Structure 1
């Protein structure tokens, strides 16, 4: 969450000043610095738990785990279909100046921090499945709104409207990960580290696939199409969650 809140806008700011190559040079330098600090500070001789790949993959075959992983992938595809291409979306669709992009990403990051904290609290108070359902439904609605804004509003209003959407979108979208983590831990508490790592892998796979989907949309359509296409993925994810929830309900047997 900190990376989204700070890293994304900082990277966009560096790109505005030094170009996209400057951002990659900055990432390489910071990565090398972080590696050197870890090498110097971490105790020697730390040995992690070694598990064969077969055992790690077997956790994914537990009842209910695979639908959760699929839902995670779908949710992140939807989010990053737009987020990965927020620059052309905001500049071409909303008429924003490129210098406004770091502020736009910072607004999303602030919302993401709030959502990450609030999502965990909502999962504890209202239930993880209910929180995930609300996050998916509201994310889909906001993604559709992202497409409607440049379609129906004049450019001088569309830009500020898109900026205003970033904080609530960050809140709604990032309420999903902590609630989803609660769901998968509840299914396999004895294998929590393994299923959490699988869920994290599903999350990053969704991020990568979201960029692929967004690129395809821009190749065959317009930036304003991104939100509508992206919204389909959390809607399908919501269907997966609801189908699993209904299937898990005990069936009432008629009295004889």
Structure 2
């Protein structure tokens, strides 16, 4: 069912954003939240596997558009130099959901039945919808877009390189996270009761990383992506060795969570390279994250199935981080050549 949601997010991000390109951002946010409510209600009332799969796919469709457009609303509300920190604060909601929301939903599902977890999502989406209606003012000066304008913005090679960094560079974190529980049980020798605290620690790492990522991006702009990916490769290379001791494993899990620092830096980068029509690019960023969420666990599963062990995911993650770093380097070189060419012409 996780795959169904991810497929919905990958398909829905460009499709729904293009369909709503001419809408006011406030209105599009309300539409996406209504779709979230409908999709999760459909999940609650599903009676078979096929119905449940379709319901989860529908639930994922508004994901990328909501986060992409909401990020644009946040970014447009602050001066240019404050965008990175504003985006990191916005993304703080996503990381806090890992720390609080996921364990809470699991607890509610175990206590009252799995469908109550999705009812909880519906209630939270409804509360968010009401808050937007009453707290987010209509912006009469907002620049409207159009499907063709959004598609033209996607013709910039820098947009695709940034999305490539997200899809490849983030895959390592998802690779490790997907097999974290069996690694902790089989390598660190934790009991099943010791897994939830470690997952919470991972969530705390994502919160810390998100804040640090915003500050790094404010200071170093696109260079912050190279810094974060370099650190990612180092952390992931150390991860297999760290898992043999509970204290070093805890530190390793926290540091892997900190790799969420990449998220605000990439979002700000997309706003810059697709400034004429950033909605589709911003939404596609979340589709790229879901592609990473598919690639990482798939590669990790292949390594584990081949007998390389539960912690081999760290080495795969390091390779993916280096792959993202390579794309970042290409992006920087192309940008440098373009700047040099412009200087020669003038």
TM-score normalised according to structure 2 size: 0.61
Alignment: residue pair count: 238
Q: Secondary structure of the residue that 2:311 maps to in structure 1?
A: helix
Are the structure 2 counterparts of residues 37 and 248 from structure 1 closer, same or farther at C-alpha, using a change threshold of 3 Å?
closer
Are the structure 2 counterparts of residues 110 and 188 from structure 1 closer, same or farther at C-alpha, using a change threshold of 3 Å?
same
Task: Provide structure 1 residue ranges, at least 5 long, that are not aligned to the other structure.
Answer: none
Residue 174 of structure 2 is aligned to residue 68 of structure 1: no
Deviations 1:165-191 (A, max 9, x none): 2223322x0111111111111112121
Aligned with 2:266 (options 158, 168, 180): 180
**Residue equivalent to 2:176:** 82
Any conservation in 1 of the 2:105–2:120 contact (CA below 8 Å)? Answer: no
Deviation, 1:148, is: 2.3
CA distance in 2, matches of 1:247, 1:148: 37
Are the structure 2 counterparts of residues 144 and 9 from structure 1 closer, same or farther at C-alpha, using a change threshold of 3 Å?
farther
Deviations 1:33-72 (A, max 9, x none): 33555677775xx9xx7854x6544433213111110110
Task: Provide structure 2 residue ranges, at least 5 long, that are not aligned to the other structure.
Answer: 1-94, 139-143
Deviation, 1:12, is: 6.3
**Residue equivalent to 2:289:** 203
**Residue equivalent to 2:204:** 110
Judge which range, 216-225 or 236-245, deviates more. Answer: 216-225
CA distance in 1, matches of 2:297, 2:97: 18
CA distance in 2, matches of 1:91, 1:14: 25
**Residue equivalent to 2:96:** 2
Root-mean-square deviation over aligned CA pairs: 3.0
Any conservation in 2 of the 1:132–1:180 contact (CA below 8 Å)? Answer: yes
TM-score normalised according to structure 1 size: 0.80
**Residue equivalent to 2:250:** 163
Answer 1 or 2: higher relative contact order, Cα 8 Å, separation at least 6: 1
CA distance in 2, matches of 1:244, 1:37: 40
